Structure 1
C-alpha cells in the first residue's frame, strides 16, 4: 500500500488516489492519479463518487497507473430511478412520508452493479461513468463523455452517450499488451524498462516480460 499522497513536489492538485480514499468499497490500484485544479483532490471520494450508498453494497474498482482528470464523476445506482414504476418519483426512498416498508427502499432505483475500471486507463475532463460499466485496460475516455456501456481494452470512446472512436493499436499489439500486463511488474522492473513503454517499443517490452528482472 502506498503512503505518498502527492506524486510531484510542490503540486497539491494531483494525488495518488489510494492514499486518500478511505471507503473499503472503493479499491484503487497503485500509482493511479487524480488531478483537480478546482477542488481539493483529497476530497475525491466526496466530490466525485456520487450516489454511492451502503444499501446497495456496490463497489468502485480502479486499476493501476490510471489517470483521472478534473471533474470526472462516477454515478452509482441510486442515481438510476427505476423504470419499472409508472412514476419516476422515488416513493420507496421516502417510505416514512408514504407509509411504505423500509425494506423496499431499494426498489426506488434500478441496480446495474459495480463500476470496474481497468489498468492504464485515461479518463478525460468531466467525463461521467455510469453504474454497471466496465472499462478495459488501456482505454481512453474523452472529455465530457457519458459512458453508459462497457468499453473494450485500448479503445478510445467519446460523446453522449459514449461510443467507440478508434482503437489505440492494432489487435495484435492489444493482445500482446493484455498478456504482458506490465502494470503488474515489480516497480524496479517497470523503472528499468520505462524507456520501452514510453517509446512504444512493444517488441523490447515483450523480451523484458520474459525475464524475471
Structure 2
C-alpha cells in the first residue's frame, strides 16, 4: 500500500479521507502526520486490527469464533504525529493467566481476551513515536509526550510522558477544565469554530466561555418550550 505516503514533513492527511477499516471510527478534522516513518495510518500506525481488506478475506473472528472485537474510536480535531503506534486487538491471544502465553492454534478460539475499545477523545495530541496500548482512553485535550508508552487512561486536559506514561501536569486549572468540558468547542459547527478561532488560539478560556454563553449555548425559553421568540421575526 503506497497511496497514503507523505511527500514532506509538513504534510498531513485527514483521517476521514483515508480510513476504510469499519473497526475505526474517526471524527472531523482529525489528522495523521506520518512523513518520518512513511507508514499508512491503517497499516502501520494502527496495528493488529482486524477489518482491513486483507484480513477480511482471510478470516472473520466474530463469525468464526464469536469474538467481540475492539474498535478504535477517534474524536474531532485529534493530532497524531509520525511514528505513533496504536496497538489493537488482533493478537490478544497471549494469556498471562494461563500457564503458557504461547498461542497454540488449537486454543485460539478460547484464548482471545478483548481489551475494550481504544478511544482518543477530541482535541488530543499524540506526540511522535508514542505507543498507545489496547483499551486505553485518552481524554479530550490531553497531550501524550513524544516517545511515551500509555498503558492506562489519561484524564482530560492532562499532559503525560514517559514509559510507562505518568502525569506531568494539568494544562489548566480545575475550573477552566470544567468550562472546557462543558463547552466542547470541537463539537460546534465549523462556522462557529472559525468565528472563535482567534480565541481558541489563545490562552483565554474566560473569553471562550463568554463567547460560548453569548453565541453558542441555547437561550432559555422561560419554561415554555413552545413559546415563539418574536425578537427573531
Q: Name the stretch that deviates more: 74-83 or 16-25.
A: 74-83
- 1:18 corresponds, among 16, 32, 43, to 16
| Structure 1 counterpart of 2:140 | 137
- 1:67 corresponds, among 47, 71, 79, to 79
> Structure 2: which 5+ runs fail to align?
52-60, 62-67, 218-233
Aligned equivalents of 1:106 and 1:115: distance in 2?
22
Task: Write out per-residue CA displacement over residues 128-182 of structure 1, whole angstroms, 9 at most, x where no aligned residue.
Answer: 1111101100000011111110000001111111111111111010000000100
> Structure 1: which 5+ runs fail to align?
96-103
| Structure 1 counterpart of 2:43 | 46
CA contact (8 A) 1:83 1:110 kept: no
1:168 aligns with 2:180: no
Aligned equivalents of 2:45 and 2:100: distance in 1?
28
| Structure 2 counterpart of 1:57 | 69
- 2:99 corresponds, among 83, 86, 92, to 86
1:187 aligns with 2:190: yes
Aligned equivalents of 1:172 and 1:12: distance in 2?
35
Q: CA deviation at 1:88?
A: 1.4
Which aligned runs of 4 or more in structure 1 are off by greater than 6 angstroms? Answer: none
Superposed CA RMSD in Å reads: 2.0
- 2:110 corresponds, among 93, 100, 107, to 107
Cα distance, 1:12–1:139 mapped onto 2, change above 3 Å: closer
Cα distance, 1:68–1:86 mapped onto 2, change above 3 Å: same
Aligned length: 194
User: Larger radius of gyration, structure 1 or 2?
Assistant: 2
Aligned equivalents of 2:169 and 2:91: distance in 1?
30
Aligned equivalents of 1:52 and 1:107: distance in 2?
19
